Chain A
Amino acid sequence: MSRSGVDKALYDIVADRQARAGFLSDADGFLDRYRLSPEERWAVGYVDLPVLLECGANPMLLWGMWMTFGDRSLSGYLSELDGNRTLSLRKEPDRG
């Protein structure tokens, strides 16, 4: 478990436009920069919010991810956390 690595990756995606562009264009290259377990790497790359919450990611960052990539609705976010994966940007990242 490396919560700080998860938070760092999520923070960079949410707060740094250049990092976000890198994540979108080359997810594996982006994820290589962070100290993440295979499960965490998968969860960040796949933007798997329920798993990221279980990993101990700060919930404010998860909401930030939803505001960045989701439909920005509260109902959509809660549905996403409930396991109804609707985000369209998902790719299949290398598990590292």
Chain B
Amino acid sequence: MAELVGGFLVPHDPMVITDPHAPSEAVRDRIAAAYDEVARRVAGLAATTLIIIGTDHYLLFGPGCLPQALIGSGDVEGPLERLPGMRRRPFPDNKPLARHLVDHGHRTGIDWAVADSLTVDHSVAIPYFRIGADTDLPVIPIYLACGVEPLLPLPRAAQIGANLKDAVESWDADERVVVIGSGGISHWVGTPEMGRVNERFDRRVLDLVTAGDVETLVSFSDDYIRENGGNGGLEIRNFVAAMAALGPCAGGVIAYEAVPEWITGLGFVELVRAGTGDVAERDDTAEGIAS
């Protein structure tokens, strides 16, 4: 039987790659170490498939079609953009499971849009290259409407996450699935406040994630998020969906850095299902990364 064996929240900030020397060497090293630590933990979970929940940045989908929630259920490749060190190439996929997620959702109240051939942008590609590419892990990309109106309502992100959990657990094949919520915390993209990072907001989000408090995260209004976390902060929808996909869970912060040079509050968190009691133990391995 398939099961969701773990979850992580990681950033997908392209400036980490396109402007690598902007912050201090110490910051760069901690961010690189955090990605490596997530990859190590994913390997430790013996994952067989990654579900990466990302954000369209008005690159994949234009005004002609703006899906609320989409699964890449066929061929997957990426990245769409030119990113140093990440040459576009096909990604290993898991079409049977991806199509099961779609079918399950359609039967149970989630009207997934579907891409039968998808070139993912950096929000899926960067986590994949950092975490799953070295071991050729199959990936199922998901996009939630976090950046372009109409935004996916936060409660709907939680419903989608819960539906993913049910779908995975109803899949009659041996799979160990890890879900990744991809996104920065506070960041302002393209607005006059671009470059601002609100560490207070970031810490609040991380505290709620650590406590597994999906309910409070879902209660955030979009106006509150825009004011305190910027338009980029709206992608905490991906965090909510990943948390809900695990069910009751707690989070262990692997690393956090407020990096104005990369315009973003960058958080790395492991999500562990309630009752497994693994977070504190695993956090010991992250000593020296978290700031």
Contact = CB atoms under 8 A, between A and B. Distances in A.
B59 A15 contact: yes
A74 B59 CA distance: 19
Contacts of B263: 74
Nearest to A81: B192
Given A15-B58, A58-B190, A59-B231, 20 more contacts: A7-B63, A8-B62, A8-B64, A11-B58, A11-B62, A11-B63, A14-B58, A14-B59, A59-B189, A59-B190, A60-B58, A60-B148, A61-B190, A63-B189, A63-B194, A64-B58, A77-B194, A78-B192, A78-B194, A78-B195
Given A58-B148, A74-B195, A63 B62 contact: no
A74 to B, nearest CB: 6
Contacts, number: 52
Nearest to A64: B58
A62 to B, nearest CB: 5
A12 interface: yes
Given A74-B195, A78-B195, A60 B190 contact: yes
Interface in A68-87: 74, 77-78, 81-82
Interface string B60-84: 0011100000000000000000000
B61 to A, nearest CB: 9
B241 to A, nearest CB: 20
Nearest to B15: A74
Interface in B6-60: 57-59
12 contacts: A7-B58, A11-B58, A11-B62, A15-B59, A58-B147, A59-B189, A59-B191, A62-B190, A63-B189, A64-B59, A74-B263, A78-B194
Nearest to B148: A58
A60 B57 contact: yes
B36 to A, nearest CB: 27
A26 B189 CA distance: 30
Contacts of A60: 57-58, 147-148, 189-190, 231
Nearest to A50: B192
A4 B147 CA distance: 15
B15 to A, nearest CB: 9
Interface centre among B63, B147, B263 (most CB of A within 10 A): B63
Nearest to B195: A74
A60 B60 CA distance: 13
Nearest to A66: B190
Contacts of A62: 190
Nearest to B56: A60
Contacts of B63: 4, 7-8, 11
A67 B190 CA distance: 11
Contacts of A12: 62
A36 to B, nearest CB: 13
Interface string B191-231: 11011000000000000000000000000000000000001
A12 B88 CA distance: 21
Contacts of B189: 59-60, 63
- List the 10 shortest-distance A-B pairs measured between CB atoms, nearest first: A59-B190, A63-B190, A11-B62, A8-B63, A60-B58, A59-B191, A62-B190, A7-B63, A60-B190, A81-B192
